[in-house]
Amino acid sequence: MAALEFRKSSYSTGDRECVEVAMNVPDAVAIRDSKNPDGPILGFTPAAWAAFRDAIVEEG
């Protein structure tokens, strides 16, 4: 399995809470807390992640 390559949102600042997302593994999206990179990682299908992301954009 390929190593996860996490990236932070461009909206993130040094003092704010942020998640990091890895989308470099086929058929998987991994999410983790940027302040706790050794902590738990949540996994989603790309379709589930897209639905979540789209719902947030609609609300924002």
Mean of all residue pLDDT scores within the chain: 86
Query: First CA to last CA across the chain, in angstroms?
Result: 35
Would you list the domain boundaries of the chain? 6-59
Amino acid occupying residue 33? D
The predicted-structure confidence for 15-35, as pLDDT tens digits, reads as follows 667 889 999 999 999 999 888
The predicted-structure confidence for 33-47, as pLDDT tens digits, reads as follows 888 889 999 999 999
Residue 57 pLDDT level (bands cut at 50, 70, 90): confident
- Give residue 15's pLDDT: 67
- Give residue 18's pLDDT: 83
Reported pTM: 0.78
